[in-house]
Structure 1
Amino acid sequence: MDLRVLGDVPPDPFLGAADLFETEFSLEKPVHVRIREDPDERTWAGHYPDKHVLNVSRRAATSAMARELAVHEFSHMARYEEEHVSHVQSTEEALYLGLAGERVERRKLTQCYQIANHMKDIYADDITLSVVPSDKLLGFLESTLAAAVADRPTPPRPGSRPTGTGADPAITAVNAAFALALIERHDLASPDHRIYDLARVADGDAPNVEVDAFKRRFGSLGPDPTASDYRKALVSATRAYAI
């Protein structure tokens, strides 16, 4: 892999990620790693005619998960190069089909993009989990969900208004469903693992979102769906959440 780390961070995690990834897979295009200062944007992949770009926040690039996050993004790049339907289907087109004629607040629309990203992540992590140990990813899923559950808004006192701060319980429930779907897809943990307790709390906090229903949606994604089947699944998930 032609890998270039552009920024003043240690390159070792990215070089290590490339070595792991290349035990089973390869990329045709070079990869440029660009360091971003926004800590809320952990990692994301950009695809261009002559290269892929791994955008990574400085916090993520220097974290204990840097290698695993890099492998995850390499996996997205591999899916893009193979033209897997999950990575070439237009998210905007699917959301337009799913929400045509509906009035949806901007927050919900943004969260629908997050659901679409989860559906891409399922396929990227099918690759990721074939080359990296699962223990750190499981710990990452657990800690992320625990932080979101702990950050849920406090119910307002009688006569007061909600502040609107804290993690949105609805998308936290969807995130919990994604985590459980990934765990069960790859047999990462037993049903008595703490993350299931956290998912039950998330489910109780979001009465309009069923964790089990979204878990089934994510878990039922077959390895190589047709373009039509994948579009239908994305449209259905969008409508189930937003309407």
Structure 2
Amino acid sequence: MDLRVRGDVPADPFLGAADLFETECDLDLPVYVDVRTDPDERTWAAHYEDRHVLNISRQAATSAMARELVVHELAHMARNEEGHASHHLKTEEALFLALSGESVERRKVAHCYQIANHMKDIYADDITLSVMPSEKLVSFLESELARAVATRSGPAPWPESRRVTAGSDPEITAVNAAFALGLVERHDVISRDHRLYDLAHAAADDAPSVDLDAFKRRFRSLGDDPSDSDYRKTLVDATRAYVVGESGTGMAAD
């Protein structure tokens, strides 16, 4: 893998992430890492015809989660290169189909983008969790959900890879909790008495309009390699379930 770090930060987390990633995958295009000064930006990937760009804040690049963050973004790049539907379907297209004729609050539209990003994250983390242990990711999800349940205000992104984050309002916090449970159940990495379940149910109690279990199933049961039309329908169904309470079809049962 051709990975080049452009910024005054230790290279070890990036090189370690590349080594881990290459045990299962590789990238055809070079990866340029740009270190940013804004600590709130964390990480996001951009894709071009001749390269990928990993944008990462200095704070994230020097954190205990640096290697894990980089592996996660490399996984997004791999999904992009393979042409996976989740990483090529334009989110706006699905949201237009889902919300046509509806009057939707701006915050809920933003939440719908976050749901779409959660679905992308599921597919990226299918790769992430195939190359590295799950413990640090689970601890991160747990700590961020605990913070979100405690604060219950404001937006919640990991940019472009938007995970559970402190400060969400109750409705999207409940969806974030469903994402966390869907991911860990999809990979069977925690027991049923893990604290993440208690936190998720606390989040659900604060947002009775959100069906935690239904959203958990949506995330957990995403098909490995959906067609563009199947993926579009899945995202449309999830969007309508969040905004107008329609359950959609095709969800796997518990």
**What are the ranges of 5 or more consecutive residues in structure 2 without an aligned counterpart?**
154-166, 245-254
Instruction: Tell me the secondary structure at the aligned position of residue 103 of structure 1.
Output: coil
Please tell me the residue identity of whatever aligns with 2:50: D
Residue 204 of structure 1: aligned partner: 205
**What are the ranges of 5 or more consecutive residues in structure 1 without an aligned counterpart?**
154-165
RMSD: 0.9
Residue 7 of structure 2: aligned partner: 7
Cα deviation, residue 201, structure 1: 0.1
Cα deviation, residue 141, structure 1: 0.7
Cα distance in 1 for residues equivalent to 2:243 and 2:41: 24
Residue 131 of structure 2: aligned partner: 131
Instruction: Tell me the secondary structure at the aligned position of residue 35 of structure 1.
Output: strand
Cα deviation, residue 70, structure 1: 0.3
Please tell me the residue identity of whatever aligns with 1:237: A
Cα distance in 1 for residues equivalent to 2:57 and 2:170: 25
Residue 229 of structure 1: aligned partner: 230
Residue 79 of structure 1: aligned partner: 79
Instruction: Tell me the secondary structure at the aligned position of residue 221 of structure 1.
Output: coil
Listed as ranges, the matches of 1:9-88 within 5 Å are 9-88=9-88
Residue 151 of structure 2: aligned partner: 151
Q: Which has the larger radius of gyration?
A: 1
Matched residue count: 231
Cα distance in 2 for residues equivalent to 1:57 and 1:169: 27
Cα deviation, residue 228, structure 1: 1.1
Cα deviation, residue 21, structure 1: 0.3
Residue 160 of structure 1: aligned partner: none
Cα deviation, residue 40, structure 1: 2.1
The Cα offsets for residues 154-204 of structure 1, whole Å up to 9 and x where unpaired, read as xxxxxxxxxxxx530111000000000011000110010000000010000
Cα deviation, residue 82, structure 1: 0.3
Cα deviation, residue 99, structure 1: 0.6
Please tell me the residue identity of whatever aligns with 1:80: N
Listed as ranges, the matches of 1:82-97 within 5 Å are 82-97=82-97
When the two structures are superposed, what TM-score results if normalisation uses the length of structure 2?
A: 0.89
When the two structures are superposed, what TM-score results if normalisation uses the length of structure 1?
A: 0.93
Cα distance in 2 for residues equivalent to 1:140 and 1:128: 14
Cα deviation, residue 213, structure 1: 0.9
